[in-house]
A and B are shown apart, each in its own frame.
Chain A
Amino acid sequence: DGGITQSPKYLFRKEGQNVTLSCEQNLNHDAMYWYRQDPGQGLRLIYYSQIVNDFQKGDIAEGYSVSREKKESFPLTVTSAQKNPTAFYLCASSQGAPYNEQFFGPGTRLTVL
């Protein structure tokens, strides 16, 4: 089945630790995205990538980093510089044109202890 997988589903981290969230897609999509969702709020764009080996900052990139070494993979690292990392993180992909819908993964819920 084609789709997007994110792992792990739940993640706990101590303050001061970096953590990497996985996102893999087998839809052969060019573009991939990372969003953050806080309780009762909408989605905010962290980073996006239109093509392999290229990515751009979204609205809230501070304290996060990404890489896009393979078309199917777009991992997100939450660094210790992110002041309030506890949130629900969603990965998405699309064909790359603005009229194409984005397909979303099941999300990773990160809790900082």
Chain B
Amino acid sequence: AQKVTQAQTEISVVEKEDVTLDCVYETRDTTYYLFWYKQPPSGELVFLIRRNSFDEQNEISGRYSWNFQKSTSSFNFTITASQVVDSAVYFCALSEGMRNMLTFGGGTRLMVKP
């Protein structure tokens, strides 16, 4: 069975600090997809990134970057120079093979203080 673990339930940083959100996954499939979503206080989940199991290249998008390592089954998310607007709950999720369903981690609540 697939499983996603986000060990950090809550992180608090001061604005402009860098912060990394950890995500560890378990799957028996060789083909799978990993996602990160952001849930601001409004409640609606916002898609951030998708990565497939065959592409281990790291990705950078502005202040956001993602590090995918199959050797450690991790897909970590780093925010550089955090801002108050980054305060939200962040979810890592996994989709296996041909199953069109997401398994979510428990989420990490990030609080960025001014």
Contact = CB atoms under 8 A, between A and B. Distances in A.
A42 B98 contact: no
A60 interface: no
Contacts, number: 62
B49 to A, nearest CB: 9
Contact of B97 (A33, A42, A98, A103): A98
Interface string B91-114: 100011111111011110100000
B98 A98 contact: yes
A105 B42 CA distance: 11
- At the interface, is chain B mostly helix, strand, loop or mixed? loop
Interface string B33-63: 1010100001111110010100000000000
Which of B9, B33, B101, B104 has the most C-beta atoms of chain A within 10 angstroms of its own C-beta? B101
Interface of A: 31, 33, 40-45, 48, 50, 58, 88, 90, 92, 94, 96-107, 109
Interface of B: 6, 9, 33, 35, 37, 42-47, 50, 52, 91, 95-102, 104-107, 109
